């Protein structure tokens, strides 16, 4: 029997009268790398905000790592890591000071040892005493990954993780995501509007359009249906609709 790291049933969110997310029924199996594709404003960030308990749903239910996101929100939060789009840090603090703060907030008893372990895993050693404010966008994204996995969460949410990165930064981040999944068994939920990002990283794909999940299948099945890059791209634009 498949266990689901993320499971939603009719999960809905409205901003006043505007429906941001239509009833969402989605299961993401433990150990998957799930990519949620969609144009800007399609409802990707709303979905992640709901699943990370940063937004309260206006309808439906969802569990993350077995914890209900409303009834047991703190339990859910203890099991997730989160990298927001345009992640911000304490720019006046060093990398080590930033990570130490977030490690302590996550209740890690020996933060320095864990920080060294995580930075080693991300091949990001030697910057401990540099101020984060001086980091490039790519370096900041790696700090973002580091803070998100400090407490070894079973589920990691990444919101547009490659946004604004140069090709080298994209490749480094992609490698980190794949290694996290392979070596730590972390289930990864990734938002993106880049088709190539999903086909190179994910094991299953969802496409959201105007707040509605219009496609959900494994990467293998999706590529079987659309074997060439052009066919997949056409299908994506047909399914996701024209960009907002």
Partner 1 sequence: MNSISVFAGKELLDLRRNKVMWVLTASLAIAVLISVVVASLDFRTQMAAYDLYVNQLKASGSTVIPAAPQLFPLQMLRGGFEYIEIIGALFAVVVGYGTIARERFRGTMHLILSRDIGRVSFAGGKLLGIGVFWAVIVGAIVAVAAVSVSVVGTASLTGGDAFRLLIAGSVSWVYLMFWSAVAAGLTALMRRPSSALILALGLWLFVVLIVPQIGDTMDPDNQVPGGLFKALAIQKSDEVAVLAHFSTFESARNALEVTSVSKLFERIAFAFVGIKDKYNQQGFAFIWYAMSRYTWSILAMTVSATVFSLVASTRTNLLRKAS
Contacts to partner 1 by CB under 8 A: 49, 52-56, 74-75, 77-78, 80, 82, 84, 86-93, 97, 101-102, 104-107, 147
Of residues 80 and 180, the one with the C-beta less far from partner 1: 80
- Nearest Cα to 158, choosing from 171, 142, 139, 169? 142
Within 13 Å, how many C-alpha atoms sit on residue 147's CB side?
24
CA distances from 142 to 3, 118, 239 (A): 29, 10, 32
CB atoms within 10 A of CB 123: 12
Q: How many residues does the chain have?
A: 244
Work out how close the CB of 241 gets to partner 1 at its nearest, in angstroms, rounded to a whole number: 25
Phi-psi label, residue 101: left if phi above 0, alpha if psi -120 to 50, beta otherwise: alpha
Q: What tokens appear for 191 in the block?
A: 């938002």
Radius of gyration of the chain, Cα coordinates, nearest whole angstrom: 18
**Minimum distance, C-beta of residue 212 to partner 1, in the bound complex (Å):** 22
Smaller CB distance to partner 1: residue 88 or 230?
A: 88
- Of the two residues 48 and 198, which places its CB atom closer to partner 1 in the complex? 48
3-state secondary structure of 7: strand
**Nearest approach, Cβ of residue 109 and partner 1 (Å):** 9
CA angle 30, 46, 218 (to 5 degrees): 35
Nearer to partner 1, 42 or 232 (CB): 42
CB of 42 to partner 1, least distance (A): 17
Question: Nearer to partner 1 by C-beta: 78 or 218?
Answer: 78
CB of 232 vs partner 1, minimal distance in Å? 32
């Amino acid at each position: 029997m498949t266990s689901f790291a993320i499971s939603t049933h009719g999960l809905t969110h409205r901003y006043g009268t505007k429906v941001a997310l239509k009833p969402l029924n989605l299961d993401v199996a433990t150990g998957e790398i799930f990519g949620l594709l969609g144009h800007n404003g399609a409802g990707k960030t709303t979905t992640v905000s709901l699943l990370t308990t940063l937004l309260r749903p206006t309808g439906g239910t969802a569990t993350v790592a077995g914890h209900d996101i409303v009834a047991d929100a703190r339990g859910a939060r203890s099991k997730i890591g989160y990298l927001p789009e345009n992640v911000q840090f304490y720019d006046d603090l060093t990398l080590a000071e930033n990570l130490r703060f977030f490690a302590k907030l996550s209740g890690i008893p020996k933060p320095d040892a864990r920080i060294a372990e995580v930075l080693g895993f991300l091949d990001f050693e030697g910057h401990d005493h540099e101020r984060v404010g001086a980091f490039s966008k790519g370096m900041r994204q790696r700090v973002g990954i580091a803070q998100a996995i400090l407490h070894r969460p079973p589920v990691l949410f990444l919101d547009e993780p490659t946004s604004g990165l140069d090709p080298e930064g994209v490749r480094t981040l992609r490698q980190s995501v794949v290694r996290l999944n392979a070596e730590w068994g972390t289930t990864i939920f990734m938002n993106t509007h880049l088709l190539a990002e999903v086909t190179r990283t994910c094991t299953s794909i969802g496409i959201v359009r105007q707040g509605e999940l219009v496609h959900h299948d494994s990467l293998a099945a999706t590529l079987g249906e659309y074997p060439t890059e052009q066919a997949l791209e056409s299908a994506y634009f047909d399914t996701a609709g024209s960009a907002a």
